[in-house]
Amino acid sequence: MAKKGGRLKNTLLKSTAYTKNKNAKGQIIAQVKKGPSMIAKKDAVTIAPPPPPKKRGNVKPPYSHHQTMLLVGEGNFSFANSLISNIYVEAPENMTATSFDTLEVVKEKYPDAEVILNNLEESGVTLFHGVDASNISKCKPLKGKKFDIIVFNFPHVGAGIKDQDRNIMANQELIAGFFKSALQHLNPNGEIHIALKNSHPYTNWNIKLLASNQDLCMKSKTPFIPSMYPGYAHRRTIGFDDRISTTENEDLMRGAGADAAAGVSNCFTFAFWRLELARKQSQKKQADGNESE
């Protein structure tokens, strides 16, 4: 685990030196600025200044900067960066973003991550690496910490298991472990979010059943439309490989049929809350309804 400061800081200092390099023609090949205006070029990866988040019809990102957020299983940290550049601009200190991989592995797997991490660090986001979503407390600084929202976007063990049943089971174990661990870090009214493709084999993971095993139930299901998160670029667990990976979010658009042309993927953010809380809210609603009759 790499904690904010120390090794991370050293790496980011190196990153800043790199960004000041110029190419043979004297052109700046990389430039890092704080916040939304960041423009970075590295290994042909460009992060353009993200425009404000788009609403699609009634759909808007289910987030507010007032909520303390823990992100787990980040890939290149572009989701965290998108929120920081838009929704969390006013409260970056409310965000903690983590990866399962160590900092070294993150940089190796995702060439664009170093610049993004630099921006997050400068913005005041808390960063940790080597955080297991199914054992969050093992990251010492997170022990005892509670959050309003805990997010795991497109979880996948990425173990390359060819047998489909075993692959599904391995991912179910990850999700079940995540629910159990996240509950220990969730405020009483908090929510656990999982973004997932709404197609086979992901539907076979049965995440609602896995949630109910932990006394959680679904509160909402919001379409995950990549353009609602400007700058977000989905990454696979194996890392960025330009022979099979796509720079943007084509992976998420696959299987969306005609919707893909309109930028709408077949993915959703599933929000879960405690069953007990859901029951209380429902009773309260019923009582309020009876009163007004």
State the minimum distance, in angstroms, from the CB of residue 81 to ligand SAM: 11
Residue number, 11 or 81, with CB nearest to ligand SAM = 81
The SS3 call for residue 186 is strand
> 88 near 96, Cβ under 8 Å?
no
Instruction: Give the pair of three-digit tokens for residue 82.
Output: 């998108």
Structure tokens at 135: 């054992």
Residue 101 contacts ligand SAM per CB under 6 A? yes
Q: How far is the CB of 132 from ligand SAM (least distance, A)?
A: 5
Q: Tell whether residue 7 is a contact of ligand SAM (CB under 6 A).
A: no
Contacting range for ligand SAM; rule: CB under 6 A; set: 40-48, 73-81, 137-145, 217-225:
73-81
**Which amino acid appears at position 50 of this protein?**
P
Region 169-208 residues binding ligand SAM, contact defined as CB under 6 A: 174
Site for ligand SAM in 228-247 (CB under 6 A): 234-237
Residue 254 binding ligand SAM, by CB under 6 A: no
Instruction: Quickly list DSSP for 89-115.
Output: TT-GGGEEEEESS-HHHHHHH-TTHHH
290's tokens: 């009876």
Helices and strands, counts by H and E, the chain = 8, 9
**Least distance CB 64 / ligand SAM (angstroms):** 20
Please say which residue, 74 or 148, places its beta carbon nearer to ligand SAM: 74
Among 94, 153, 265, 266, binds ligand SAM (CB under 6 A): 153
What is the distance between the terminal CA atoms of the chain, rounded to a whole angstrom? 57
100 in contact with ligand SAM (CB under 6 A)? yes
Out of 36, 73, 130, 226, the only residue in the binding site for ligand SAM (CB under 6 A) is 73
**CA nearest neighbour of 240 among 112, 99, 128, 116:** 112
Please say whether the beta carbons of 12 and 117 come within 8 A. Answer: yes
Looking at beta carbons only, is 7 or 156 nearer to ligand SAM? 156
Residue 41: exposed, middle, or buried by beta-carbon count in 10 A (0-12, 13-18, 19+)? middle
Q: Which of 11, 74, 185, 274 binds ligand SAM (CB under 6 A)?
A: 74
Residues 6+ apart with CB under 8 A from 146: 68, 185, 186, 187, 190
Cα–Cα distance, 190 to 184 (Å, whole number): 11
> Minimum Å distance from CB 233 to ligand SAM?
7
Task: Point out which span in 26-34, 62-70, 151-159, 267-275 binds ligand SAM (CB under 6 A).
Answer: 151-159
Question: What is the enclosing helix (H) or strand (E) of 274?
Answer: strand 267-274
To ligand SAM, the closest distance from the beta carbon of 135 in angstroms equals 8
Nearer of residues 7 and 236 to ligand SAM, judged by Cβ: 236
What is the Cα–Cα distance from 242 to 259, expressed in whole angstroms? Answer: 25
Can residue 133 be called a binding residue for ligand SAM (CB under 6 A)?
A: yes
72 binds ligand SAM (CB under 6 A): yes
Other beta carbons less than 10 A from residue 213's beta carbon: 11
Binding-site member from 50, 53, 61, 75 for ligand SAM (CB under 6 A): 75
Query: Which residues here bind ligand SAM, judged by CB under 6 A?
Result: 72-75, 79, 100-101, 132-134, 153-158, 174, 234-237
